[in-house]
Structure 1
Amino acid sequence: MKNQKPKYHQIIEAAVKVIAENGYHGSQVSKIAKEANVADGTIYLYFKNKEHILVSLFEVKMGEFINQIAKAIEESDAASDQLYTLIKMHFRQISSDYYLAIVTQLELRQSNISLRLQINQVLKPYLTVIDGIIQKGMEQHQFGKDLNIPLVRQMIFGTLDEIVTNWVMKEQKYNLVEMAPEVHRMLVNALSK
């Protein structure tokens, strides 16, 4: 498989950095190739175009993230604890990679409709994890019993996403992970009413 080859990952990592530094529209394939230390033509052995690189880097990074979250939340049976793990890991993942934070919070937002639809497909498994936590919280009577799961999912994801975007816009001047306990407390209080 193409995506199992080292050059594929080399190009993905280079793309994250180049897109973060130059913006999506200012990131030519040749810049990505130079950063990855490969010939321009090598890029096209793995990717159709720049849009495909952006979607692929999001797929790779989001796929890794979803797998880590799924494993971590299995360590606890309580939905509230799982929600805390999800919040903390979301913040930790974003804050651990400066360039990826810029790409996910800023550059992916400026995309065309076709690109947004592809990004939404990549996000679906993450949103399904959130749905599972909400459902479990309702079953365990930790959260309200008649919650509108899609609306609550939007509230949780939207909250985390906005906090991270604000952190990126403020040039990461504070510790994002330290905010996890308070964000968790506020969300659980809202969900348990």
Structure 2
Amino acid sequence: MKKDKPKYRQIIDAAVIVIAENGYHQAQVSKIAKQAGVADGTIYLYFKNKEDILISVFSEKMSVFVENLKVIIQESITAQEMLARMIEGHFKVLSEDHHLAVVTQLELRQSNKDLRLKINHILKEYLDLLDDILQRGIQAGEFIEDMDLRLVRQVIFGTVDEVSTTWVMKDQKYDLVEMAPRVHEILLKGIQTQ
């Protein structure tokens, strides 16, 4: 399988750097190939085109968020703890890879509608896990019973996403992970049982 080959990973990692530094529209396949240390033609053994590279980058990197969240759900006792660790984990992944943060928070937003739909499909697994956390919280009596699950999910993910985007826009000048407890506290106030 292509994804298991080392050059696939090299190209993905190179694409993150090139897209972050040049912007998606200026990120030529030749620049990605050069960054990856492969011939231009090698890229096309793994990817159909530049759009396919961007979707693959998002899919590969989003799987890191998903796998982290699965571990958090397994290891955590309460839904509140799961939510706190999810927010912290999300911020941690982005703060440890500045190029990835630029790509996910800025470059993916500038893509066309068709591309955004594919990206939303990839994001679905992560959002489904967030739904799982919320449902566990309701069942355990931690979160209010009559919450609008879809709306609460949008508010939580939207907040985490916007805080991340603002951090990127401000040139990552402050500690994103340090914001996690404050974000968690604000979000909890809206869904916690009294």
TM-score, normalization by structure 2? 0.98
- For residue 92 of structure 2, what is the aligned residue in structure 1? 92
Name the SS for the 1:74 alignment partner.
helix
Q: Distance in 1 between matches of 2:192 and 2:66?
A: 25
- For residue 167 of structure 2, what is the aligned residue in structure 1? 167
Name the SS for the 1:143 alignment partner.
coil
**Equivalenced residues, count:** 193
- For residue 180 of structure 1, what is the aligned residue in structure 2? 180
Structure 2: give runs of 5+ residues left out of the alignment. Answer: none
- For residue 27 of structure 1, what is the aligned residue in structure 2? 27
Q: Distance in 2 between matches of 1:63 and 1:90?
A: 12
Q: Distance in 1 between matches of 2:141 and 2:104?
A: 34
- For residue 191 of structure 1, what is the aligned residue in structure 2? 191
67-76 or 96-105, larger mean C-alpha shift:
67-76
1:4-60, CA deviations, whole angstroms, 9 ceiling, x for partnerless residues? 000000000000000000000000000000000000000000000000000001100
Task: Please provide the CA RMSD for this pair.
Answer: 0.8
- For residue 136 of structure 2, what is the aligned residue in structure 1? 136
Find out whether 1:52 has 2:52 as its counterpart: yes
- For residue 147 of structure 1, what is the aligned residue in structure 2? 147
- For residue 79 of structure 1, what is the aligned residue in structure 2? 79
- For residue 158 of structure 2, what is the aligned residue in structure 1? 158
Name the SS for the 2:146 alignment partner.
coil
Q: Distance in 2 between matches of 1:76 and 1:112?
A: 38
Shift of 1:68: 1.6
Name the SS for the 1:118 alignment partner.
helix
Name the SS for the 2:155 alignment partner.
helix
TM-score, normalization by structure 1? 0.98
Please tell me the residue identity of whatever aligns with 1:156: I
Structure 1: give runs of 5+ residues left out of the alignment. Answer: none
1:35-46 → structure 2 map (5 Å cutoff)? 35-46=35-46
Shift of 1:79: 0.4
Shift of 1:166: 0.2
